[in-house]
Structure 1
């Protein structure tokens, strides 16, 4: 799958089969995540790979939009260590770019994934900090549920030419 096909056909997948996601697939996804652009090339991200179903179930119990986690075979928590930033306060953009790369890399490998937001909701971030023992300087941006798709969604048509402006508004 080429990059444009991946971008234009990727969908949020919330239903998964019982088939496993391999360590090799996760490794490729994490390589893609770490290839994301970042402010000042700081790359402040850290990733926690979660396969423990008790942990995934716990998150689903406390996060209002994480109901798919009990079905997921794996999830990746995307975090940033503010001590690694070159430009303070830019970690959310850096981690958002890494999260998007995770979604695209999963899709390119035939996996389904969905972005579960944590930042800027302080309660959701606090749950992640406590559950995963994050240091004070580390903040969770997102959690990505991943599995083999058990639903098929058609590519959306989201292009809106009326939102394009040339030279000026």
Structure 2
């Protein structure tokens, strides 16, 4: 099977990590993959913040119901939408989604585990205050990353259940 298709099928959300550190080189490779995501007019409307410092991670963990996962992670990658670059909000948010997919796939390809903490978006103001986020940046995602201490499995809805029937085709 094609390596990209294989990675898409194998990647899982990992919430438990070992105490082993994540090398800076791997974080740079993840961010490099993220910046190559497609975007309308190639405006690349994203910004990243890498958080490794334990006290800062602990403060961020207090902003989510998934605090244990945030605290267990060795690295957080915070993804923002740069509203100063936005030309079409929907397309730009979709571009940030593609950027996030690249983060996930690169993390998996490098033998690391990650989970996309979406619930924390309910507490954007809390995170933005802790990270002293400029007003032009809007929190889109926080990835909790580390060396996996688990090998989770997942099921998918059958493809035929996802297809919309259209009698006018």
Matches within 5 A, 1:113-124: 113-117=114-118, 121=122, 124=123
Structure 2 gap ranges (5+): none
Match for residue 104 of structure 2?
Answer: 103
Of Structure 1 and Structure 2, which has the larger fraction of its residues in helix? Answer: 2
Match for residue 10 of structure 2?
Answer: 9
Matches within 5 A, 1:8-87: 8-87=9-88
Structure 2: how far apart are the matches of 1:34 and 1:7?
19
Deviation at 1:160, TM superposition (A): 2.5
Count of residue pairs the alignment pairs up: 167
Q: In structure 2, do the counterparts of structure 1 residues 21 and 105 end up closer, same or farther at CA, with 3 Å as the change threshold?
A: same
Structure 1: how far apart are the matches of 2:136 and 2:125?
13
Cα deviations by residue, 1:141-165 (Å, 9 ceiling, x for unpaired):
0100000000112353444312224
Q: Report the 3-state secondary structure (helix = DSSP H, G, I; strand = E; otherwise coil) of the residue aligned with 1:68.
A: helix
Matched-pair contact (CA < 8 Å) for 2:17–2:113:
yes
Question: What TM-score do you get using the length of structure 1 for normalisation?
Answer: 0.89
Structure 1: how far apart are the matches of 2:129 and 2:109?
33
Question: What TM-score do you get using the length of structure 2 for normalisation?
Answer: 0.89
Deviation at 1:7, TM superposition (A): 0.4
Matched-pair contact (CA < 8 Å) for 2:50–2:76:
yes
Aligned-residue CA RMSD in angstroms? 2.1
Structure 2: how far apart are the matches of 1:92 and 1:20?
31
- Mean Cα deviation higher: 147-156 or 158-167: 158-167
Matched-pair contact (CA < 8 Å) for 2:22–2:147:
yes
Structure 1: how far apart are the matches of 2:103 and 2:159?
25
